[in-house]
Amino acid sequence: MTTNPSIFVESSTVISNKKFKGNQHILRLLAPKCATSAKPGQFVQIQCGSQHLLKRPLSLQLVSKSSGWIEILFRIVGSGTTHLATLKTNDTVEVMGPIGKEFQLQPQIRKYLLIGGGVGIPPMIFAAHNITKETNHLSPFVIMGSETPFPFNPKPSQFLLDGIPNDVIAAMPLLESWGVPSRLTSLTDMAGCHQGYVTDLARLWLTECSTATLKQIIILSCGPTPMLKAVASLAREFNVDCQVSLEEYMACAVGGCAGCVVPIKTTLGISMKRVCVDGPVFNANDVFFE
């Protein structure tokens, strides 16, 4: 048991385990203690059967404080996630969380650009929900990229956006239902998606923003390291604030093993920080410094 009072270990019950194309699953678990405390950008550790000593770190996609459930998106990549894919309704699984530092939402009204790639998409959905439903911020704009089919059926967006080509119209239905504009990108030939990188589409949108709007914008991003580096570079190009959630292999996930350390720029120089508890969210300039 971790000594951090904000992290809980629960025997959680499976509510649903929905399968999607690309060996992807959305797993919903009854974990009321975790759900009560969870914030966008945090993650959980999930036990993947008795044969696996170490739990697997997975990002939170959505939570319901009132109903006590948490939701995660995962892709089958090994024996651990293969086990998770076999879980059925009413099965039990041990969950530890929420873990890590969340995205820091500014108290004043700001415009958020959320950029997620692959398994980095879930934190963007959670952040969009929090910004839209629980704060007085302007509605965010969400860009999501994937080289596998998205774990939902894209639909044409109801929102027209300056700088976004008219034929780039594919969006996530859940976000649309919240009144949140979104666009999808892929290097594969997916209908309605931007054929390119998430940063390419973000640049088109940022280029059309006024100077006053750029001063309001904050970028939140999660995805593979090369993508995050490109997002950090884009943020510097347009001189906007940027927070990134790092993806690293983890063992204990509570700071004990120091197996997930990365170099971070601090006021005292470069320091090795643990992604699990010092992050996973960092200021982009402190991670991808020149």
User: Out of 2.40.30.10, 3.90.950.10, 3.40.50.620, 2.60.40.420, which CATH number does the structure's domain 8-99 have?
Assistant: 2.40.30.10
Q: Which residue has the tokens 């410094």?
A: 289
Phi, psi of 151 (to 5 degrees): -80, 45
In whole angstroms, what is the distance from residue 222 CA to residue 244 CA?
A: 6
∠ Cα 129 132 135 (to 5°) = 110
Half-sphere exposure for 59 (CA within 13 Å, toward CB):
32
Same fold: 8-99 with 111-247: no
pLDDT of 6 strictly over 90: no
For residues 100 and 281, the answer to whether their CB atoms sit within 8 Å is yes
Q: Each residue of 278-288: pLDDT tens digit?
A: 989 999 999 98
pLDDT at 1: 35
pLDDT of 3 strictly over 90: no
Q: Which residue has the tokens 């992604």?
A: 275
Task: Tell me the fold of 111-247.
Answer: Rossmann fold (3.40.50)
pLDDT at 2: 40
In whole angstroms, what is the distance from residue 54 CA to residue 44 CA?
A: 13
Q: What is the DSSP secondary-structure string of 32-59?
A: HHHHHH--TT-EEEE---TT-SS-EEEE
Strand-pairing partners, residue 217, are 111
Q: Each residue of 210-267: pLDDT tens digit?
A: 999 999 999 999 999 999 999 999 999 999 999 999 987 777 777 778 788 898 998 8
CA 157 to chain centre: 21
For residues 249 and 260, the answer to whether their CB atoms sit within 8 Å is yes
In whole angstroms, what is the distance from residue 279 CA to residue 201 CA?
A: 27
| Domains of the chain by residue range | 8-99, 111-247
Q: Each residue of 102-133: pLDDT tens digit?
A: 999 887 778 999 999 998 999 999 999 999 88
In whole angstroms, what is the distance from residue 252 CA to residue 263 CA?
A: 19
Residue 290: pLDDT band by 50, 70, 90 thresholds? low
For residues 46 and 91, the answer to whether their CB atoms sit within 8 Å is no
**E strands within 163-268?**
170-171, 182-186, 194-195, 217-222, 241-245, 261-266
**E strands within 65-136?**
69-75, 92-99, 111-117
Q: Each residue of 9-67: pLDDT tens digit?
A: 999 999 999 999 989 999 999 999 999 999 999 999 999 887 777 788 999 999 999 99
In whole angstroms, what is the distance from residue 232 CA to residue 289 CA?
A: 9
Q: Each residue of 132-186: pLDDT tens digit?
A: 887 777 789 999 999 999 999 999 999 999 999 999 999 999 999 999 999 999 9
In whole angstroms, what is the distance from residue 280 CA to residue 235 CA?
A: 19
